[in-house]
Amino acid sequence: MKSLFESLFTTKDIIRKKYPGGWVGWLNDGMSDEDDGQLTRFTTMDGGHMYQIVEGLKGYGFKPPELKNGCFYCNDYFLSVYEYYQYIEEDISKYSCKPPEWLNVKLQEQKSLIEIDKNNLDYLDYNGLDYSLN
């Protein structure tokens, strides 16, 4: 799978426990693109780069998602992929994903681009996901 625009969400508490240098090390390594209290996000436009980041995190003891009964359960981080191109033969659509308990994911209101433009609305308020810490 080739992906575009991936975001990795985790918490400051998990980072403090597992990342070398804790929260300060995370910031010094340029790993926080957006900070919302206890929740932080790292984003990249390259799925290969995110793969390298995730492998590094696992090397530091971050627990990866687990597949149980056809559902991925997220542990120390959650990955959100905006767009991807499937080029593997396995059908991954048969699996679901359960976000971690510490991440509250809410669907944003859905509106067509025509309606957003017609009503002069902010497109960022629609058709996406809203992430926040429980």
Q: Are the C-beta atoms of residues 89 and 18 closer than 8 Å to each other? A: no
Distance CA 22, CA 13 (A): 9
What does DSSP say about strands 71-73 and 96-98: parallel, antiparallel, or unpaired?
A: parallel
Average pLDDT over residues 115-122: 84
Residue 16: left if φ>0, alpha if ψ -120 to 50, beta else—which one? alpha
Q: Express each pLDDT in 1-14 by its tens digit.
A: 455 568 888 999 99
Instruction: Report the range of poorest mean pLDDT among 9-23, 60-74, 82-96, 102-116.
Output: 82-96
Q: Express each pLDDT in 41-88 by its tens digit.
A: 888 887 788 889 999 999 999 998 888 887 778 889 888 765 544 555
Global pTM exceeds 0.85: no
CATH architecture of 2-100: 2-Layer Sandwich (3.30)
